């Protein structure tokens, strides 16, 4: 019995009960997210407020039952084999924690702060379903690129953050007298730095002094190169992974020929 | 007779009648689009309104005759060989439907809503002409890259959309009290999210609270990596395709040598 | 005599007279551009207006003499060997025309329109000097990438322009009633389309209706992929060129070994 | 004694005293930067101003002692072996100069100008620590890509700067009458050019005349290709480096097999 439920809860590629269960859960997640988004609309809340509540109850009950079943059946997996410590281990797994956090706000209305925004974390579930089954190959490729290029990306990130802090500090000293509102502190100047380096450029903060514009202009031109860095790293990472896969495939083919 | 018209209607690489017919249709499309763009200018419409109308009639008549001929001659193609069901099949083909939709608004002035914006869909035709002939190789390369990287691009898109919904919901809870106008609902907050993640940054909506700016800043920095993802996937896709073409060419060369 | 002057005018890698002449011309170009930029500053023009004029006369005289000498000596080159028709051929070469246009405004003050902005075209000269000598290899690599990927880039450009016109037309029909100032015609709507697709996002025009925002948001998200296209094409183009160069080098090495 | 201190000051991979010293210095740098950022906040300065001062004294003393020890022990390195001229050589090394500049403002309060912004240069230290040890491989890869692609990047940069000056000059002549505030000189127009070419688009300056918008629109569309250039160069540079490393590894493997 527990084994059967466990297999139903696990994602599956075949068109069996487990597959339809996956589809049902995905539909519940999507509807629940639509529910959260629409409920935030004041006019809709005034009209259909109750219906949003009803559906929220339904979805939380579904997710709670599912969560309970998962905790109950997780010991079917070797990793979590032990009845008690295995279940604790499962429950403290980041992904299971996110699941719990996404249904908890419903049961904790008495807590002072409004925790309802945590409900949106249910979305992470979609990602997990996607991770399995048909898209697992694409998913793994992207993950292995990030994993292998971790150090290059980290060095690049540190470089970007250092440049960001330095130019924001310089801009703070250059602009604070001309614009005491927008550059009153380095942390405010950092906001300008981020908005500029990422080329978002809202336009709420920008240098107005001649020196500030000169520095800002040079920084912005160089930021083209900065933004090209992660793009180049990832592109070469993909090419590398694909070449590696082909080579290992070719080796396998050779072995089979022998 | 039908066969000859069919061959004239089909794009061709040689400098024959079919080729000049292609050029004529492309010119009509371009002029028709220029007509639509210029007609929207109030001052020009006041002065030359009639001429725009006359040309619109000309172009619609041309496209209607062409559409009729295409439907009549399509049965020359094996796919649509059957006189009746083959023609229905041709007419329900997405590209033929777009053709129909692009001329229909002219014949349906009595419909309540203004459907004239559909006329702009004629532009898709240019694309189809381009698809053939000289640019077909470049066109096919780009298409096969998208086709092969479909799953990676889809996983990336789902990832971007999930991140987008989560940060927009968080921003809604952080900013709705400080800016009830711009963050009155999650769907409005989504507008901020899209404008920021894509680094467009119009500047109509941006966080103003300290927490909102902190979250927004971190998100924006990470968005560099997000935008680098599709770029990297496509770049590696091109490299892969080109390597593959070279290898298959080399194999062919080897075979010929043997 | 003419031969010697010809060789001095041609760029050179050795540290001879020709090299120092190149440096002198490059310095004149840079100073002349600085002169144009500074002269546009009202306060500086008021103070040092005469000096700017003097230097402009100097630089135009220099460039005129150089242009004259080039036309006189060009027949040393095989291409332009014929005394008369060769010189005409040289003078109608685009690069020589740009040279002429960059000095002509000085001699044509009596023309009605202000043509002084053409002086800035002198800058193109720097590019030509760069093309030679030390940077020629990097220059040729970039040029050959663009040359080889010409068709892919053209197909992508046509695709971007078609998408641009279609979304601008749709946005015109969606927003013209809500914002008659900014979306009064399709050509004005095109301005919004360009600013959004390229992710510049000045913030002077953006959709305000719910439908307009929905369409604009989706378009903007997809524009990530559009902008990734040329980046990917160029990246793979570089990789391809570099692999090709290595292979041809390897073949040469093999031949030498045999 | 001097030798031991030298080895402690040098970064190390083992978990010895030298490693903990590295961690200590990195912590001091980070805290010192946080100190600078928080001190700029007026409310915090009013409350905890003294504590910020105390910590600044502590950190400067630490960095001064470290700097002194480095200068004292640098002669242990072969490069700086000579007791006097070697130390001068070490002290005039750019990195050591940055170290000195970052602590000097503390000792020079009597100088007229406020040099405290130079303190932020301490951040460069983090970079240097990162350069060593665990991340050195990723660091070297990025550096060698930039080194090898130096000429392509330079040609691209010159190209971008030339285009930038030309379009800014054109825009100055097109817009100066319509917007005398924003386009009163070419240097002001350059600010528009940079903000547009890099797709930042603050929205403080943009063309308003029809001709200006037309030119601006075309420039902005072409800027997609411009920004794609460095991205493509760097991506191919990475791929090249990785292929080269693999080939040299394969050669080594072959030699070992022989």
Cβ contacts (< 8 Å) between C141 and chain D: which residues? 152
**pLDDT, tens digit (0-9, with 9 covering 90-100), for D152-210:** 888 888 888 888 998 999 899 899 889 998 999 999 999 999 999 988 999 999 999 99
Report yes or no: D257 at the C interface, CB cutoff 8 Å.
no
Residue D156 half-sphere exposure, CB side, CA atoms within 13 Å?
A: 23
Sign of the dihedral through C-alpha B169, B170, B175, B177 = positive
Contact D230 A225 (CB under 8 A): yes
Residue B110 reports pLDDT greater than 70: no
**pLDDT, tens digit (0-9, with 9 covering 90-100), for C203-239:** 999 999 999 999 899 988 887 778 788 888 888 888 8
Cβ contacts (< 8 Å) between B203 and chain D: which residues? 202-203
User: For B15-28, what is the mean pLDDT?
Assistant: 83
Chains touching B, CB cut-off 8 Å, 3+ pairs:
A, C, D
Q: Which of A164, A161, A160, A184 is nearest to A172 (CA)?
A: A184
Count CB atoms within 10 A of the CB of residue D65.
10
User: For B131-148, what is the mean pLDDT?
Assistant: 79
Rg, chain D, Cα only: 25
User: For A50-64, what is the mean pLDDT?
Assistant: 89
B110 by DSSP, 3-state: which? Answer: coil
Interface with A, mutate which of C203, C204, C217 (most A CBs under 10 A): C203
**pLDDT, tens digit (0-9, with 9 covering 90-100), for C113-149:** 667 777 777 787 777 666 655 677 788 888 888 998 8
Contact C242 D233 (CB under 8 A): no
Report yes or no: A201 at the C interface, CB cutoff 8 Å.
yes
**pLDDT, tens digit (0-9, with 9 covering 90-100), for D224-250:** 778 788 888 888 888 888 878 877 888
Q: What is the pLDDT of residue A171?
A: 92
Contact D202 B202 (CB under 8 A): no
Q: What is the pLDDT of residue D178?
A: 92
Q: What is the pLDDT of residue C214?
A: 92
Same fold, C2-135 and C136-258: no
Across chain B, mean pLDDT equals: 84
Count CB atoms within 10 A of the CB of residue A62.
16
How far CA C160 is from CA of A137, B29, B70, B161, in Å, comes to 31, 17, 28, 23
Sketch the domain layout of chain C as residue ranges: 2-135, 136-258
Residue A117 reports pLDDT greater than 90: no
Region for C195 from its dihedrals, namely left if φ exceeds 0, alpha if ψ lies in -120 to 50, beta otherwise: alpha
- Percentage with pLDDT > 70 across chain C: 93
User: For B26-46, what is the mean pLDDT?
Assistant: 88
Question: Residues D34, D55: contact at Cβ < 8 Å?
Answer: no
Query: How far off is chain A from D199, nearest CA to CA, in Å?
Result: 6
**pLDDT, tens digit (0-9, with 9 covering 90-100), for B204-239:** 999 999 999 998 999 888 877 787 888 888 888 888
Question: Residues D220, C194: contact at Cβ < 8 Å?
Answer: yes
How far CA A236 is from CA of A145, B237, C246, in Å, comes to 9, 11, 18
Lowest-pLDDT range of A157-166, A169-178, B56-65, D110-119: D110-119
- Burial class of D181 by CB neighbour count within 10 A (0 to 12, 13 to 18, 19+): exposed
Q: What is the pLDDT of residue C114?
A: 67
User: For C23-52, what is the mean pLDDT?
Assistant: 87
Chains touching D, CB cut-off 8 Å, 3+ pairs:
A, B, C
Q: Which of B197, D54, A21, D233 is nearest to C220 (CA)?
A: B197
**pLDDT, tens digit (0-9, with 9 covering 90-100), for C150-202:** 888 888 888 888 889 989 998 998 998 899 989 999 999 999 999 999 889 99
Question: Residues B207, A200: contact at Cβ < 8 Å?
Answer: no
Query: How far off is chain C from D203, nearest CA to CA, in Å?
Result: 4
Question: Residues D155, C139: contact at Cβ < 8 Å?
Answer: yes
Question: Residues D104, D118: contact at Cβ < 8 Å?
Answer: yes
Residue A112 reports pLDDT greater than 70: no
Question: Residues B38, B55: contact at Cβ < 8 Å?
Answer: no
**pLDDT, tens digit (0-9, with 9 covering 90-100), for A179-199:** 998 999 998 999 999 999 988
How far CA B109 is from CA of A67, B35, B105, in Å, comes to 57, 18, 7
Residue A232 reports pLDDT greater than 80: yes
Contact A231 C231 (CB under 8 A): yes
Question: Residues D227, D198: contact at Cβ < 8 Å?
Answer: yes
- Percentage with pLDDT > 90 across chain A: 13
CATH number of the domain at C136-258, out of 3.40.1410.10, 2.40.30.10, 1.10.287.70, 1.20.1050.10?
1.10.287.70
Answer with the residue of higher pLDDT: D235 or A15. Answer: D235
Report yes or no: A40 at the C interface, CB cutoff 8 Å.
no
Query: How far off is chain D from B159, nearest CA to CA, in Å?
Result: 23
Q: What is the pLDDT of residue B49?
A: 83
**pLDDT, tens digit (0-9, with 9 covering 90-100), for D73-123:** 888 888 888 888 888 888 888 888 888 888 888 887 666 666 777 777 778
Q: Which of C158, C199, C235 sits opposite B126 (nearest CB)?
A: C158
Three-state SS string over chain D comes to: CHHHHHHHHCCCCCCCHHHHHHHHHHHHHHHHHHHHHHHCCHHHHHHHHHHHHHHHHHHHHHHHHHHHHHHHHHHHCHHHCCCCHHHHHHHCCHHHHHHHHHHHHHHCCCCCCCCHHHHHHHHHHHHHHHHCHHHHHHHHHHHHHHHHCHHHHHHHHHHHHHHHHHHHHHHHHHHCCCCCCCCCCHHHHHHHHHHHHCCCCCCCCCCCCHHHHHHHHHHHHHHHHHHHHHHHHHHHHHHHHHHHHHHHHHHHHHHHHC
Residue A133 reports pLDDT greater than 80: no
Cβ contacts (< 8 Å) between C43 and chain A: which residues? none
Sign of the dihedral through C-alpha D91, D97, D103, D109 = positive
Q: Which of A64, A199, D186 is nearest to C200 (CA)?
A: A199
- Cα separation, D223 vs D160, in Å, equals 9
Three-state SS string over A130-183 comes to: HHCHHHHHHHHHHHHHHHHCHHHHHHHHHHHHHHHHHHHHHHHHHHCCCCCCCC
Question: Residues C21, C142: contact at Cβ < 8 Å?
Answer: no
Answer with the residue of higher pLDDT: A203 or C77. Answer: A203
Question: Residues C188, C159: contact at Cβ < 8 Å?
Answer: no
Q: What is the pLDDT of residue C208?
A: 92
Q: What is the pLDDT of residue C194?
A: 93
Residue B144 reports pLDDT greater than 70: yes
Q: What is the pLDDT of residue B192?
A: 94
Q: What is the pLDDT of residue C190?
A: 94
Q: Which of B225, B227, B239 sits opposite A239 (nearest CB)?
A: B239
Q: Which CATH architecture has domain D2-135?
A: Up-down Bundle (1.20)
Q: Which of C141, A248, A229 is nearest to D238 (CA)?
A: A229
Contact A203 C199 (CB under 8 A): no
Q: Which of C149, C202, B227, A215 is nearest to D236 (CA)?
A: C149
Q: What is the pLDDT of residue A252?
A: 84
- Cα separation, D212 vs B97, in Å, equals 39
């Amino acid at each position: 019995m527990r084994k059967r439920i466990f297999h139903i809860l696990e994602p599956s590629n075949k068109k069996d009960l487990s597959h339809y269960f996956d589809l049902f859960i995905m539909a519940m997640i999507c509807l629940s997210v639509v529910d959260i988004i629409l409920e935030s609309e004041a006019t809709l809340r005034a009209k259909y407020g109750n219906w949003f509540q009803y559906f929220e109850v339904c979805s939380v009950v579904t997710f709670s039952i599912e969560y309970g079943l998962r905790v109950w059946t997780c010991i079917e997996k070797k990793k979590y084999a032990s009845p008690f410590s295995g279940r604790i281990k499962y429950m403290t797994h980041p992904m299971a924690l996110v699941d719990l956090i996404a249904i908890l706000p419903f049961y904790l209305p008495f807590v002072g702060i409004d925790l309802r925004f945590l409900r949106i974390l249910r979305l992470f579930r979609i990602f997990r379903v996607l991770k399995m089954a048909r898209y697992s190959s694409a998913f793994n490729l992207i993950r292995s690129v990030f994993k292998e290029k971790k150090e290059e990306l980290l060095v690049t990130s540190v470089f970007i953050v250092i440049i960001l802090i330095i130019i924001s500090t310089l801009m703070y000293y250059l602009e604070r007298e001309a614009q005491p509102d927008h550059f009153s502190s380095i942390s405010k100047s950092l906001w300008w730095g981020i908005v500029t380096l990422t080329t978002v450029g809202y336009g709420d903060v920008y240098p107005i002094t001649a020196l500030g514009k000169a520095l800002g202009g040079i920084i912005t031109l160089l930021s083209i190169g900065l933004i090209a860095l992660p793009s180049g790293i990832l592109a070469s990472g993909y090419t590398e992974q694909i070449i590696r896969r082909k080579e290992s495939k070719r080796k396998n083919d050779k072995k089979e020929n022998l």
